[in-house]
Amino acid sequence: MEQISVVTTVVDARSVADVLAASAVAGRLAACAQIAGAVESTYWWDGRMETSQEWSLQFKTANDRVDTLVTYLRTAHPYDVPEILVIPVSSGNPDYTAWVHQHTRP
């Protein structure tokens, strides 16, 4: 199986999620981007507890594209401290992982 990862983040508007997803896939940083939401997030910010509505994104990418995708997200993300998590996939459908690799080649 070719190694892939799922990279996740959240943003505060569906329109921002749409742009991040489309840009990452068009740039072949990810083979697929999924948007889910809205979700309620509760977190600490500036010394107080906040609750806000956010949109969740999941990007499927080849392991050799993870660093470039993370760099893109850190640059394009509107948050001061964006949540960007990388989750390595330990197993999966080999046909799917091959498809991810095929579609993340520049």
Q: What is the pLDDT at residue 1?
A: 72
Report residue 45's pLDDT band, with 50, 70 and 90 as the boundaries.
Answer: very high
Q: What digits encode the pLDDT tens for the residues 46-74?
A: 999 999 999 999 999 999 999 999 999 99
Whether the predicted model's global pTM rises above the 0.85 cut: yes
Q: Looking at the structure, give the CATH architecture of the domain made up of residues 4-102.
A: 2-Layer Sandwich (3.30)
Give the domain ranges of the chain.
Answer: 4-102
Concatenate the DSSP letters of all residues of the chain into one string: ---EEEEEEEES-HHHHHHHHHHHHHTTS-SEEEEEEEEEEEEEETTEEEEEEEEEEEEEEEGGGHHHHHHHHHHH--SSS---EEEE-----HHHHHHHHHTT--
